[in-house]
Copies of this chain bind each other. A is one copy, B any other.
């Protein structure tokens, strides 16, 4: 179990290194606020940690505020802030209620006031005030998730159905200044796409939205169709934005972590975006080729893969990567592949991701579990649970995409 211990050590160190606290503090130290009120709005999977870090710096200067995070991601009260937990990846009643509260709190601010807007991944679902019926939003979100649409395509659609996305929240706060600190979970960090860019000029167009609907042949209601035709704001002048954290830092942190325990690190990319299962096969092919290495190797890949939905099981993209790999590295000595989401939640599961090694496929055989059938049913969680290959970290407080690592120990 040496390799599994290595994997867990690497994961813990890497995630610890990309916590938002320090970065939020740095951003705030540099900031000179106006003399009015400071209203803090924190949204996303890392919002509790970001708000908590901000509170430590601003202390009594922080006037009031709201934190909206995913269920299970709040770590308790923060003095002066109202904390909501809400639905993700599909927005629910709590998302809408919390967002209404935000809109009320930021409705009548003056030009001396500042909205401190702390944004992290997951914000698209958590921060939402639809301009079409709730059912329409849930319907289109479900369809987009199962179509294989990537996060950029999903957000292009969602920001048009919302009264806060695509820069609309910034307009709502005007004439107050908005100071946005973003913890990025989108590859390459295009600002208008992170959490659907509530305070950023939207670069996507109504034309692109229409193209996406056609591309995936999605059926939409008349209300949705109309909303998609309305163009988003293209001029915003009350916003300052700072981006902290990214998947690149997660890769660097993983690099440091593997070095500490004797692996030679090779970062291949920080922007992987292909299908999860196929990524698992590609990583396995790399593992097979390097079996004759004399030094221990760790191939590091950051990014966010996509699950192709072909079944109704339970799993996530990281779990699919490693389960697909399990078959492909069957029998290899001292070779393992693991993959985790830095937020600690991979798909709609309580696992951060998964771990497999040369023994995993054999273990699954003994349970009578077919890797092929399990992947076809998108049921990786089940198989990895049996093979003791689930990696469970709980909510980590950060959210900067995923990292996958091939370990070859010599």
**Is A309 in the interface zone, CB < 8 Å from B?**
no
**Is A279 in the interface zone, CB < 8 Å from B?**
yes
Residue from the list B272, B275, B328 in contact with A285, Cβ < 8 A:
B272
Question: How many residues of A sit at the interface, in one of the four size bands?
Answer: 20 to 34
- For A372-388 the 0/1 string (1 means CB < 8 A from B) is 10000000000000000
**Is A273 in the interface zone, CB < 8 Å from B?**
yes
Say yes or no: B281 contacts A269, CB within 8 Å. Answer: no
Cα separation A301 to B301 with both chains bound (whole Å)? 16
**Is A27 in the interface zone, CB < 8 Å from B?**
no
Say yes or no: A275 contacts B272, CB within 8 Å. Answer: no
Say yes or no: B269 contacts A289, CB within 8 Å. Answer: yes
Cα separation A271 to B282 with both chains bound (whole Å)? 9
Residue of B nearest to A267 (CB): B289
Residue from the list B215, B270, B279, B285 in contact with A269, Cβ < 8 A:
B285
Cα separation A272 to B215 with both chains bound (whole Å)? 29
Q: So how many copies of this chain end up in the complex?
A: 2
**Is A286 in the interface zone, CB < 8 Å from B?**
yes
Distance (whole angstroms) from the CB of A401 to the closest CB of chain B: 12
Distance (whole angstroms) from the CB of A152 to the closest CB of chain B: 13
Cα separation A268 to B372 with both chains bound (whole Å)? 25
Beyond A215-B372, A372-B215, whether A282 also contacts B289 by CB under 8 A is: no
Residue from the list B281, B289, B372 in contact with A270, Cβ < 8 A:
B289
Candidate in A215, A285, A328 with the most chain B CB atoms within 10 angstroms: A285
Residues on A lying within 8 angstroms of B by beta carbon are 215, 267-275, 277-279, 281-282, 285-286, 288-289, 301, 303, 328, 372
